[in-house]
A and B are shown apart, each in its own frame.
Chain A
Amino acid sequence: MNSVNVSLKSEITSDVDWGRIRSDFPILDLKIDGKPLAYLDNAASSQMPQFVIDRLVRYQTKQHANINRAVHYLSEVATQEYHDARCKLQQFINAHEDREVIFTSGTTDSINLVMQGYGRKFIKANDEIILTTLEHHSNIVPWQMLANEKGARIRVVPINDNGELEIGEYEKLFNERTKFVGLIHVSNALGTINPIKRMIDFAHRYDVPVLIDGAQGAPHMSIDVQALDCDFYAFSAHKLCGPTGVGILYGKAALLESMQPYKGGGDMIASVTFEETIYNTIPHKFEAGTPPIAAAIGFGAAIDYLTAIGLENIGAYESTLLDYATDCLVQIPGVKIIGTAKEKTAVISFTVDGVHPHDIGTILNQDGIAVRTGHHCAQPVMQRFNVPATSRASFAFYNNKTEVDALVAGIKTVQKVFL
């Protein structure tokens, strides 16, 4: 998948008018303290194009009702639009069936669903769960909770000095007690793209299911869950130009059917008496209560928007920004880039000698530059590189070289203040 991006880079990017695309995002016209906003915190949350904002307005002004319930007009429209959004997500990741796409509140919720629905049913004492050093806390903490409850054990794949997984070590961790693999597609802290296809194939030799945390993968490259053969894939709308509060869990139908629901309530049942409840079929079994209907429909619109640009184009353009920004930053004395994997998305984590990341963030902010500073909810990564925190610039397809230049100038200002 990544090699496809690289090989298409030169011919594809020339066809897209990235300046026009940037103008689709009204928030990017903001001035911060009189300075133009340079929004470089896209790994935390991306911005929303007018197309998606308009879709949300149209839903709220012309289509809103609760779904799957009433026979009236609005309920039928809303139900259909919500279903259409699910189908858009299905096509976006090339899932075999739409019922394999479950709407959740986001990636964290999706992972917790798998932990509760699959983990609590199938993982037992002394079983082993493989995670990696690159995991976000959201793919560590749920499994620790499960391991503590069941007496299971967590094994961790180490990384090298470039921030790449040690695949040989990963393969050595497998044994007859291995029952689950939780694997981040792209590191939110470093941008490392993991070789998930190879890792999934290896786990399947041991009949071990693999959950991919795709929060940072899906926004930057096209995803084909059937080609990957992953068992679960999770991501959030708000990192894909959609609204907060919604995401999906993809799961293979047979696995989802074998799992127990973890939220009980309306919509997830076929019939209820006080003696017994018969659960609804998937995906409804996992969508108890009124779902985030508007957000899911907005998510569908964001998928339409991104698909029209093309994920290959997005990945190729972002990688030109990454190359440019990396070249600029390595030339500043005292700046160190943390995470230098060969395969990376447009994320640069860095430190500046003698300056704490929070001071960097505050001073960059005075120039309108938004970066993330801190541990990025990935403390094991920070511990591996022996830093308490980093500053992180993360780029989206609506960013440009002018903003990279602003970042470089801002870092030089930081160094001047702390001279």
Chain B
Amino acid sequence: MHANSLYQEVILDHNRKPRNYGKLDQASHHAVGHNPLCGDRLDITLQLENEQICDIAFQGESCAICKASASMMTAAVKGRSRADAEILIHEFRELTTGKLDIGHPHHLGRLTVFSGIRDLPTRVKCAILPWHTLHAALNSISSTSTEANNESTQAV
């Protein structure tokens, strides 16, 4: 694929002006995600009330793909239930690893802008890191890594 088709305006816009950037003062769940291959680090805090994500924020050092993915993710899951978020996490992983047929019904909406990344295997982890970290936060795993084979072993 052409990298230009990955660096579309929506991704560049979220990179420039990330939504929900920062750290929540009051957070019921928190996780830090690492991509040891490139040194990216992402911090996610969220407030879960009655199984609803009523607020979420992220911050960290990362590439444009990772930052835009995190920004769009927080916008997508804010106000949604934990179960809905887990469905999105699953679908986003399937999308970026080329396993999701976007012709079939799904819940990703504008997040399909990341579909092109399946052709850039070295960058897939950049897009997935925020989702991986959100999953860890929701499951009270405080530290995770894109290189973890079994997420439960990463619990600190």
Contacts and interface: CB of A to CB of B under 8 A. Distances in A.
A396 to B, nearest CB: 23
Interface string A343-370: 0000000000001111100110110000
Among B7, B64, B65, B123, the one with the most A-chain Cβ atoms within 10 Å of its Cβ is: B64
Among A356, A363, A389, the one with the most B-chain Cβ atoms within 10 Å of its Cβ is: A356
B2 A356 contact: no
A374 B39 CA distance: 8
A324 interface: no
Given A33-B2, A366-B2, A417-B12, A359 B7 contact: yes
A354 to B, nearest CB: 9
A244 B41 CA distance: 32
A374 B3 contact: no
A358 B3 contact: no
A363 to B, nearest CB: 5
A356 B37 contact: no
Contacts of A358: 38, 63, 65, 123, 126
Contact of A356 (B6, B12, B62): B62
A367 to B, nearest CB: 9
Among A359, A365, A374, A417, the one with the most B-chain Cβ atoms within 10 Å of its Cβ is: A359
A362 B38 contact: no
Given A375-B39, A382-B39, A388-B40, A356 B63 contact: yes
A362 B37 contact: no
A355 B61 CA distance: 11
A359 B2 contact: no
Interface string A11-36: 00000000000000000000001000
A22 B65 CA distance: 36
B49 to A, nearest CB: 34
Contacts of B40: 388
Interface in B1-54: 2-4, 6-7, 12, 15, 37-41
B65 A363 contact: no
Contacts of B12: 417-418
Nearest to A389: B39
Interface string A369-390: 0000111000100100000110
Given A355-B64, A356-B62, A358-B65, A388 B2 contact: no
Contacts of A355: 64
B108 to A, nearest CB: 22
B64 A374 contact: no
Interface size class for chain A? Answer: 10 to 19
Contacts of B37: 374
A375 B37 CA distance: 8
Interface in A302-361: 355-359
Among A362, A374, A382, A418, the one with the most B-chain Cβ atoms within 10 Å of its Cβ is: A362
Given A362-B3, A362-B6, A418 B64 contact: yes
Nearest to B16: A418
B120 interface: yes
A389 to B, nearest CB: 5
A374 B62 CA distance: 11
A379 B34 CA distance: 15
Nearest to A356: B63
Nearest to A374: B38
B123 A365 contact: no
Nearest to B41: A388
Interface in B101-135: 120, 123, 126
Interface in A34-92: none
B21 to A, nearest CB: 15
Contacts of A362: 3, 6, 120, 123
Contacts of A365: 3
A53 B2 CA distance: 32
Nearest to B4: A366
Contacts of B39: 374-375, 379, 382, 388-389
Contacts of A418: 12, 15, 64
Among A358, A375, A389, the one with the most B-chain Cβ atoms within 10 Å of its Cβ is: A358
A267 to B, nearest CB: 36
A217 to B, nearest CB: 26
Interface in A260-287: none
Contacts of B120: 362
A361 B56 CA distance: 31
Contacts of A417: 4, 7, 12
14 contacts: A355-B64, A358-B38, A358-B123, A362-B120, A363-B3, A374-B39, A379-B39, A388-B38, A388-B39, A389-B38, A417-B4, A417-B12, A418-B15, A418-B64
Interface of A: 33, 355-359, 362-363, 365-366, 373-375, 379, 382, 388-389, 417-418
Nearest 9 Cβ contacts at the A-B interface:
A356-B63, A366-B3, A358-B63, A388-B39, A359-B64, A362-B3, A359-B63, A388-B61, A363-B3
Given A359-B63, A374-B38, A417-B4, 9 more contacts: A357-B63, A362-B6, A362-B120, A374-B37, A375-B39, A388-B40, A388-B41, A389-B38, A417-B7
